Amino acid sequence: MTLKNFFLFCFLTFSASLFAQEEYRVDLIPESLKEDANSTTVTETYELEIADHRSIVYKHKRVVTVFNKGGDSDAVAYASYDDDRRITKLSATILDKDGEELERFRKRDFEDISAVDGGTLYSDSRLMVLQYTPTQYPYTLVFESETESKDTFYLPTWNLIDYYDSSIWNTRFVVKYNPDLGFRYKVFDLEGVFNINESDGLLEVSASEIMATSAEELGPSPWEFIPSVRVGLTHFSLDGIEGRASNWEELGAWQYRNLVAGLDGLPQHVVSKVSALVADAPNTKEKVRRIYEFMQDNTRYISVQLGIGGLRPYPAAEVIEKGYGDCKGLTNLTMALLNSQGIEANYCVVWAGRDQKSIDADFASLQGNHVILNVPLEDEELWLECTSQTMPFNFLGDFTDNRNVVALTPQGGVIKRTPNYDLGRNTLNTDGTFNLDASGTLSGVVSLVSRGIQYDTRSAMLYKDQKDRVSSYKNYWRYVDNLDIQNINLEEDKEQISLREEVVFTATDFANFSNEKVIVPVNVMDRYTYIPRRYKSRSQEAVMLRGWMDNTSFRIEIPEGYKIDALPYPIDIESRFGTYTMLILKDGENSVQVSRSLVLRSFRATPEEYAELRGFLRSIARSDAAKMVLVKK
């Protein structure tokens, strides 16, 4: 190299370095984007290159500036891989506030870990993750990755926002594709923040200057309001198997044929046992119940993420032989057991979780994170959660209730709706008789009977040890000081889908008898205490997905030598969000009877209606804290 060329090389290298430093200086970020933000995505590009149905390249570059410790979790740097997907490029650089390099990391510096939790027995999904501990704030992460795969079924949904309290300066989602593949996309953008450029073989979606979004109490799930782009191919390949997905009928037929069909064979001795089990069943529903409970009694759940893309269940014969399986294997086994008795059942893909996310009926693509079983009878449809060894028959609970699923059938995919457990089915009845003595100690027995979704929540108590049960009750009645749990009795009724809890307790110093007048709380064991926070300016809806009903009846006996001086007035609160009533009456000379009812309906309240909702809930909490006054005779 000549001296002239050497100086030219040094100049260009220095200029490039200086430009990079200028580009990512923290003081260049607009002040508006720093407001209420733990971090800012300075620039991000997520790009897919799809040359044909067996070739896809994922390219990702993200530059994020972290202002404080709360933003460290926003500076994630990882790439996933498995047997069908390999990482070809991986690097990260840490810059200081002036854009000066602090540290540089190459692929070998990333930690190779499993992509699934400890509950998974087998999986080939792994992550290359950067474990970085910051030494100063602010700092900037420059992350780049590139991966290649032959599977074009797994096309990601791109979400504009991945983190709360994080702003975005510039971001882009780019798809370069072969037009012969039948590229499809669907945009969700309620506020119109996306700029979309489209041409033959190219889709580019971008957005800029997105202010930080904070989580708000009772707010909707992020997928309900965060702008996103869902993409898919009409012609795709998965594990070397080609398919079409122009609609759910077409995609569902491919999934059934390649993922489910032919895996229902069972050993003859198992079929004979099941045949004997249902021989005297009076109807098909009872046959389904017995088969479902047989499956529960003879298997356990263990996650297994293998097979075609982790989507194909293990054969029914293997699952029954080993005695365990994942949601796919256990659902397929139950379907096979039913089929052995001539009972039709549908393998259904669902988005599981409390937020009631539905399969998008208008866009056929890889969706869902769980499978359940649907059994259509002449007069009703049954729904079975096959991963639980304790779930009552024909009950889904809040994990998969009230949402669209796709049933995979030989004829194709069919959209179905899981049951909605309305407030009339989600009840909690609390009854008790309590004695208050002259030392201020309250003692008694309280009974709680829960049904529906309230049962689903409280039934976890059945599987706790005594220590954890006591801790749970003390937390549930945390407003009762000095609570001592003396005995617990639990009775589950799976036919009625209900749980009865009987708790014997004492609470010292419940009331103070040292003064002339004694003030005693009247709602001893069913007090509503949650008041959502006040917002000066709220931006999101307030959402209650499931309504419920509480009915309470208490009898409180007061000590000898005292009389009732004052009782709370009857309370009756009406709102479009629900109703509340409280009535406290004398029951003879030495006791009072407390009757209370709280109905909270499912709702969606606009930001403008939030104050009214909060006022309703605050009124309930205040009413439940009502007290009576005793005096000496």
Which of the four pLDDT bands, split at 50, 70 and 90, describes residue 588?
Answer: confident
| Distance between CA atoms of residues 457 and 159, nearest Å | 31
Domain boundary residue among 212, 238, 264?
238
Which of the four pLDDT bands, split at 50, 70 and 90, describes residue 370?
Answer: very high
Same domain, 84 and 7: yes
Residue 63 · residue 24 · CB < 8 Å: yes
Same domain, 304 and 165: no
| Distance between CA atoms of residues 514 and 604, nearest Å | 48
Calculate mean pLDDT across residues 120-146.
85
Residue 310 has pLDDT above 90, yes or no: no
pLDDT recorded at residue 5:
45
* pLDDT (tens digit per residue) in 399-457: 999 999 999 999 999 999 999 999 999 999 999 999 999 999 999 999 999 999 999 99
Higher-pLDDT residue of 114, 438: 438
Same domain, 317 and 390: yes
Give me the residues paired with residue 565 across strands: none
Calculate mean pLDDT across residues 483-492.
97
pLDDT recorded at residue 122:
43
Which of the four pLDDT bands, split at 50, 70 and 90, describes residue 308?
Answer: low
Calculate mean pLDDT across residues 111-124.
60
pLDDT recorded at residue 16:
40
Residue 275 has pLDDT above 90, yes or no: yes
CATH of the domain at 597: 2.60.120.1130
Same domain, 156 and 173: yes
Which positions ≥6 away from 328 have C-beta within 8 Å? 304, 307, 311, 312, 313, 314, 371
Same domain, 252 and 231: no
* pLDDT (tens digit per residue) in 147-175: 999 999 989 999 999 999 999 999 999 99
Which of the four pLDDT bands, split at 50, 70 and 90, describes residue 12?
Answer: very low
CA dihedral of residues 35, 38, 42, 43 (deg, nearest 10): -120
* pLDDT (tens digit per residue) in 445-455: 999 999 999 99
* pLDDT (tens digit per residue) in 352-364: 999 999 999 999 9
Domain boundary residue among 364, 386, 417?
417
Higher-pLDDT residue of 19, 503: 503
CATH of the domain at 15: 2.60.40.3140
Poorest-pLDDT segment among 292-306, 365-379, 451-465: 292-306
Residue 19, CA distances (Å) to 13, 15, 62, 94, 171 in order: 10, 6, 17, 16, 20
CATH of the domain at 342: 3.10.620.30
Same domain, 260 and 191: no
Residue 545 has pLDDT above 90, yes or no: yes
What is the DSSP secondary-structure string of 69-121?
GGGGGG---EEEEBTTEEEEEEEEEEE-TTS-EEEEEEGGGSEEEESS-TTEE
| Distance between CA atoms of residues 304 and 315, nearest Å | 13
Domain that holds residue 375: 245-417
In the chain, the largest separation of any two C-alpha atoms, in whole Å, equals 111
Q: What percent of the chain has pLDDT over 90?
A: 89
Residue 287 has pLDDT above 60, yes or no: yes
| Distance between CA atoms of residues 235 and 183, nearest Å | 8
Same domain, 68 and 143: yes
Same domain, 516 and 541: yes
Calculate mean pLDDT across residues 598-613.
97
Same domain, 203 and 263: no
Residue 87 has pLDDT above 50, yes or no: yes
Domain boundary residue among 402, 417, 432?
417
Which of the four pLDDT bands, split at 50, 70 and 90, describes residue 7?
Answer: very low
Same domain, 386 and 523: no
Residue 124 has pLDDT above 90, yes or no: no
pLDDT recorded at residue 22:
67
Residue 188 · residue 207 · CB < 8 Å: no
Which of the four pLDDT bands, split at 50, 70 and 90, describes residue 291?
Answer: very high
Which of the four pLDDT bands, split at 50, 70 and 90, describes residue 8?
Answer: very low
Three-state SS at 391? coil
Residue 305 has pLDDT above 90, yes or no: no
Calculate mean pLDDT across residues 580-603.
96
Task: Report the domain count for the chain.
Answer: 3
Instruction: Tell me what the pLDDT averaged over the chain comes to.
Output: 92
**What type of residue is 594?**
V
Residue 4 has pLDDT above 60, yes or no: no
Four-residue CA torsion sign, 396, 399, 403, 409: negative
Q: What percent of the chain has pLDDT over 70?
A: 94
Taking the chain, what is the end-to-end CA distance rounded to the nearest angstrom? 109
pLDDT recorded at residue 83:
82
Same domain, 225 and 331: no
Residue 246, CA distances (Å) to 235, 250, 319, 363, 475 in order: 8, 7, 33, 8, 52
Residue 350 · residue 358 · CB < 8 Å: no
Residue 537 has pLDDT above 70, yes or no: yes
pLDDT recorded at residue 23:
86
pLDDT recorded at residue 408:
97
Residue 307 has pLDDT above 80, yes or no: no
Same domain, 448 and 592: yes
Residue 304 has pLDDT above 70, yes or no: no
